[in-house]
């Protein structure tokens, strides 16, 4: 995985390239600049599958960095991140980019995917310093193609630096000579990206995301069908991301062909967070979904769209669901999936309409043991429940207003700590928004 030192090209590894793309945009900045963002977007092809604008001073300051006179003076958190993931030449590149003298002007930067390959543009503050750093890290001669100077995975043209996925710099000339109709600047969403005050703002076609998803053909087909059933005319995905104290947060929206929030076709309701909070204790995983009678009918109808009617036993089991279905477990989510011989420590509550409950109760008790029945609510659990990093009452607060919520413990990349990932799907603008938050515990 790591770059071999004695190779003459000294190329970044795949991991190194991905993280360097990210680190390049946080090497120092004074302010976000809408004009700079629009200038860079004019060099992005109109048919790029994914485009993101990064407000660099926002990102630097949110990560705890110190910016002075347009350059980064202190970046302990970013340096620690680089050291966790990179080795050898990759780490050398990262340390250079995180130094005040890298020569990169960081008023804004644009990361985009073109033909499923990543590219990153930034403006140059000091070309001499930039070239000196590149010469140190990549020995060899500079080459010229048209007005572009390039070496290995870096190209310089018109006061801009372009980081490439390989050493072929021919596209740098193509990108620089795009007409406005041929560039992303002509996209109606370009102004929104440029004016965003978030650390990162992203636009992507769903087709591009499907292509890069890595799913098998059957899983990809199923995912496409599910998206088209859940939303009316889904075409694009947009997202914003920010670093918060002790973690990060992201918000994701699905847009239709007119760049408006895609109408959600599902019968959505909201979680009963009081029911979840009443579990008490701590957990390593909490999952909850609001299932109304209208949604149950939709699920039964949708079952026929996936190759036939749902099994009668399943249809009978879910027909009385009406309210919140929630489970909290002391096990991590992967252990819940892989458990074969016994259930981990858990608590579960299921709300019903109080009618025709026999099939549902029989199915659940065969899996989770004897139920406690309180009105129209079934509850289950065992004595092993209660050990975890997240207080369930606090998790319930993050689920407020959501249709679906997931909170799960996740180990840190370095294996030395733990964090909690929260994912919620919230009804908004007749659509469905996904909020994601990661908090270091």
Bridge-based pairing state of the strands 148-151 and 160-163: unpaired
Contacts of 362 (CB under 8 A, 6+ apart): none
Inter-residue contact 212 to 232 (CB < 8 Å): no
State both tokens at 200: 């990162």
Q: How far is CA 156 from CA 128, 150, 290, 441, in A?
A: 11, 6, 53, 42
Looking at 234-372, list the stretches that DSSP marks H as alpha helix, in order from N- to C-terminal side.
273-277, 293-303, 312-318, 333-338, 358-368
3-state secondary structure of 371: coil
Residue 104: predicted pLDDT: 77
3-state secondary structure of 304: helix
Contacts of 53 (CB under 8 A, 6+ apart): 37, 40, 41, 108, 109, 110, 193, 194, 196, 200, 201
As a residue count, the chain comes to 441
- For residue 337, the tally of other CB atoms under 10 A from its CB is 8
Inter-residue contact 112 to 52 (CB < 8 Å): yes
3-state secondary structure of 114: strand
Global confidence as pTM: 0.82
Inter-residue contact 28 to 101 (CB < 8 Å): no
Low pLDDT (below 50) residues in the chain: 1-9, 14-15, 25-32, 339-341
**Residue whose entry in the numeric block shows the structure tokens 């579990």:** 279
State both tokens at 333: 């989510």
Contacts of 432 (CB under 8 A, 6+ apart): 230, 231, 254, 264, 266, 268, 403, 425, 426
- For residue 309, the tally of other CB atoms under 10 A from its CB is 12
Closest CA to 434 of 415, 410, 406: 406
Residue 55: predicted pLDDT: 78
pLDDT digits (tens, 9 = 90+) for 169-182: 999 999 999 999 99
Phi, psi (5° rounding) for residue 438? -120, 130
Instruction: Give the DSSP H or E segment for 272.
Output: none
Residue 16: predicted pLDDT: 57
State both tokens at 345: 């420590």
Residue 298: predicted pLDDT: 86
């Amino acid at each position: 995985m790591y770059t071999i030192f004695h190779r003459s090209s000294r190329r970044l590894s795949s991991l190194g390239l991905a993280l360097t793309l990210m680190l390049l945009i946080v090497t120092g900045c004074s302010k976000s600049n809408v004009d700079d963002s629009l200038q860079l977007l004019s060099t992005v092809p109109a048919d790029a599958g994914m485009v993101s604008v990064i407000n660099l001073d926002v990102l630097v300051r949110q990560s705890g960095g110190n910016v002075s006179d347009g350059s980064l003076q202190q970046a302990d958190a970013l340096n620690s991140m680089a050291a966790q993931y990179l080795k050898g030449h990759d780490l050398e590149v990262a340390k250079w980019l995180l130094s005040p003298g890298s020569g990169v002007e960081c008023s804004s930067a644009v990361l985009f995917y073109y033909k499923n390959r990543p590219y990153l543009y930034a403006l140059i503050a000091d070309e001499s310093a930039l070239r000196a750093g590149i010469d140190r890290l990549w020995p060899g001669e500079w080459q010229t193609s048209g007005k572009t100077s390039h070496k290995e995975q870096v190209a310089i043209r018109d006061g801009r630096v372009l980081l490439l996925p390989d050493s072929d710099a021919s596209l740098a000339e193509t990108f620089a000579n795009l007409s406005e109709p041929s560039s992303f600047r002509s996209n109606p969403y370009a102004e929104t990206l440029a004016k965003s005050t978030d650390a990162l703002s992203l636009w992507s076609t769903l087709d591009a995301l499907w292509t890069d998803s890595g799913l098998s053909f059957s899983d990809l087909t199923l995912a496409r069908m599910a998206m088209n059933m859940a939303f009316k005319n889904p075409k694009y995905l947009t997202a914003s991301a920010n670093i918060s104290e002790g973690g990060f947060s992201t918000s994701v929206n699905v847009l239709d062909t007119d760049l408006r929030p895609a109408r959600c076709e599902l019968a959505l309701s909201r979680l009963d967070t009081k029911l979840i909070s009443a579990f008490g204790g701590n957990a390593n995983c909490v999952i909850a979904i609001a299932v109304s009678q209208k949604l149950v009918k939709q699920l039964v109808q949708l079952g026929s769209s996936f190759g036939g009617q749902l099994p009668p036993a399943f249809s009978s089991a879910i027909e009385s669901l009406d309210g919140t279905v929630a489970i909290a477990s002391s096990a991590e989510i992967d252990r819940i999936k892989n458990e074969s011989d016994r259930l981990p420590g858990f608590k579960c509550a299921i709300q019903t309409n109080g009618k025709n409950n026999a099939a549902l109760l029989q199915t659940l008790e065969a899996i989770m043991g004897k139920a406690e029945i309180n009105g129209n609510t079934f509850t289950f659990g065992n004595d092993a429940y209660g050990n975890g990093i997240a207080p369930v009452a606090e998790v319930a607060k993050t689920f407020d207003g959501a249709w679906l919520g997931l909170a799960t413990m996740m180990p840190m990349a370095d294996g030395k700590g733990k964090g909690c990932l929260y994912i919620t799907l919230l009804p908004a603008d007749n659509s469905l928004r996904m909020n994601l938050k990661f908090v270091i515990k």
